[in-house]
Amino acid sequence: MSQATLIQIGPLAPQINSRLREQYQAVPLWEQPEPLAWLREHAQQARVAVTSARHGITAEAIAAMPRLAAIVSFGVGYDSIALDAARARGIQVSNTPDVLNDCVADLAFGLLLDAARGIAHGDRFVRAGKWGRDSFPLTTRVSGKKLGILGLGRIGEKVAQRATGFGMDIAYHNRRARDGAPWRHEPDLKALAGWADFLAVTCVGGPETEGLVSAGIIEALGPKGILVNVSRGSVVDEDALVAALRNGRLGGAGLDVFRAEPQVPEALFALDNVVLAPHVASGTHETRAAMAALVFDNLDAFLGTGKVITPVL
């Protein structure tokens, strides 16, 4: 029975897949008809699993690899990785922080601008030949407005910096105020939503933030408010969001993430006050290359020294 030492959980970009296969003899788990059974039979010696924020890794898969010592993930989010199972076994987990901050913040700001100013809506209007026949509605000013940030981490901070250039008044909600952050900390998320014109969600995903943007928070943001989410769909009560957007209790939304990707609530397709993106905030050539480089740096560091360089655990 042949044994693999490096398992790749799910497909990444083709160049990454081939480099993993050729240089590290990685076995593509997704090509096995019964992945868990395959792991139990062929991954008893596996030391490393490579995955991504999208594919994650389950507690069952971890349990099926008794010698697993490192999980190297492509992406900053780790809500799809069974961290408790990894922690219990002392398995190192690495992600790709920092290298994507600028691009994620750029897209967050793009979604905000688009949802407020109707860029995609205007594009549809022009392409449909409506210019000259119908009038395009007035939109919402962005500069000088109030921006609330839910989760002032490394990405939230980049969003705040961009907002500074737009002359915005900025406040944020974290469980605790961040040392040295020049922006106002608001300990009550509902108060932040009630104050803000725009609420940008940039916190981590996972159980600690599940449903944080509830119906009540959406209500507080209100009929003129705009919600931007580049974090995880799980942070927002999606049913409440869709209902509020449909009946005008929320002004608009710019969304890069959804609860059950790639499924997007169909009710949103008909709404011109909503801008939809297919989870691409980090999806630029430059940032994806930097993320891939960090995956290989973590992999090489673990294989060479026994320690990953950007650990989550």
| Residues at the interface with ligand 8YV (CB under 6 A) | 52-54, 74-77, 100, 282
CA 83 to chain centre: 17
70 in Cβ contact with 47 (< 8 Å) = yes
172, 177, 202, 180: which is closest to 108 by C-alpha? 202
For the CB of residue 113, give the shortest distance to ligand 8YV in the complex, in Å. 20
299 in Cβ contact with 50 (< 8 Å) = yes
Please identify which of the residues 261, 285, 286, 288 carries the catalytic annotation: 261
Catalytic residue status for 249: no
What does the alpha-carbon distance between residue 49 and residue 69 come to, in Å, rounded to a whole number? 8
Catalytic residue status for 55: no
What does the alpha-carbon distance between residue 173 and residue 255 come to, in Å, rounded to a whole number? 19
For the CB of residue 53, give the shortest distance to ligand 8YV in the complex, in Å. 3
H or E stretch at 111: helix 101-117
Select 80 or 92, whichever has its Cβ closest to ligand 8YV: 80
263, 224, 271: which is closest to 243 by C-alpha? 271
68's tokens = 């697993």
Please identify which of the residues 55, 232, 238, 288 carries the catalytic annotation: 232
Select 188 or 261, whichever has its Cβ closest to ligand 8YV: 261
Please identify which of the residues 21, 89, 154, 279 carries the catalytic annotation: 279
Cα dihedral 10, 12, 17, 20 in deg (nearest 10): -80
For the CB of residue 230, give the shortest distance to ligand 8YV in the complex, in Å. 9
Select 111 or 221, whichever has its Cβ closest to ligand 8YV: 111
For the CB of residue 264, give the shortest distance to ligand 8YV in the complex, in Å. 16
What does the alpha-carbon distance between residue 78 and residue 280 come to, in Å, rounded to a whole number? 17
Select 106 or 219, whichever has its Cβ closest to ligand 8YV: 106
Catalytic residue status for 185: no
For 186-202, b where at least 16 C-beta lie within 10 A, e where not — what string? Answer: beebeebbbbbbbbbbb
For the CB of residue 270, give the shortest distance to ligand 8YV in the complex, in Å. 27
CA 224 to chain centre: 25
Select 76 or 160, whichever has its Cβ closest to ligand 8YV: 76
Catalytic residues: 232, 261, 279
